[in-house]
């Protein structure tokens, strides 16, 4: 990889990280970013790995920065960031599954990863910050509420973002 490509990769990753963190803090101002019901506008960006591998570290770093404001503290820094990293890798891996040149499965890994990981986090830690409080009912409730919020954001905001990138020709520039 040439120095120009490395610089471009790092710059794009940094821009995505900044956008993710800023959009999450905007959602936090509306009390939508943390907790059992989440509508992080930033999660629409989780479709970007389908267009550029630079989005993978960008999203992970952005999530880490955003989760510095999480009421779950260091646990969310680690597990929330891990969920976003897994989601980004999943979206990147599914980039080749396309319908009319749109990577239609790209929004799915973020929904699943966040439902499972963040749902587990919330079910175990929200009340007393102890993993010993795990119950399947609490996990199912946490996974369902986080997963539904993620589904709404990824499909109602992420899919139009993919369409915009594809129709404007920006998707080809991101891949260059």
- Residue 161 sits at the vertex; the CA angle it makes with 150 and 121, to the nearest 5 degrees, is 20
- Residue 175: predicted pLDDT: 65
pTM passes above 0.95: no
Question: Within 10 A of 119 (CB to CB), how many other CB atoms are there?
Answer: 23
Are 67 and 83 in contact by the 8 Å Cβ rule? The answer is: no
- Residue 101: predicted pLDDT: 84
Cα 63 from chain centre: 7
Residues comprising the chain, all counted:
176
Question: Which helix (H) or strand (E) element contains residue 76?
Answer: helix 74-93
- Residue 126: predicted pLDDT: 57
Q: Is the dihedral of CA 93, 95, 15, 159 positive or negative?
A: negative
Per-residue confidence of the chain (176 residues) as pLDDT tens digits? Answer: 789 899 999 999 999 999 999 999 999 999 999 877 889 999 999 999 999 999 999 999 999 999 999 988 899 999 999 999 999 999 999 999 989 888 999 999 999 999 999 988 888 775 555 556 677 888 898 899 999 999 999 999 999 999 998 888 877 776 66
- Residue 112: predicted pLDDT: 97
């Amino acid at each position: 990889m040439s120095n120009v490509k490395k610089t471009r990769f790092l710059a794009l990753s940094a821009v995505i990280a900044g956008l993710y963190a800023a959009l999450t803090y905007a959602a936090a101002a509306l009390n939508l970013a943390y907790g059992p019901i989440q509508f992080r506008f930033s999660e629409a960006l989780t479709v970007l790995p389908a267009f550029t591998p630079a989005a993978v570290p960008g999203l992970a770093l952005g999530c880490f920065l955003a989760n510095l404001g999480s009421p779950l503290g260091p646990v969310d820094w680690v597990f929330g960031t891990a969920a976003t990293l897994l989601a980004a890798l999943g979206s990147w891996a599914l980039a080749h599954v396309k319908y009319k040149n749109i990577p239609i499965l790209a929004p799915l890994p973020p929904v699943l990863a966040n439902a499972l990981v963040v749902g587990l986090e919330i079910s175990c830690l929200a009340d007393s910050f102890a993993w010993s409080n795990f119950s399947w009912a609490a996990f199912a409730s946490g996974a369902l509420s986080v997963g539904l919020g993620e589904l709404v954001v990824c499909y109602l905001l992420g899919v139009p973002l993919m369409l915009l990138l594809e129709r404007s020709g920006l998707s080809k520039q991101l891949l260059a």
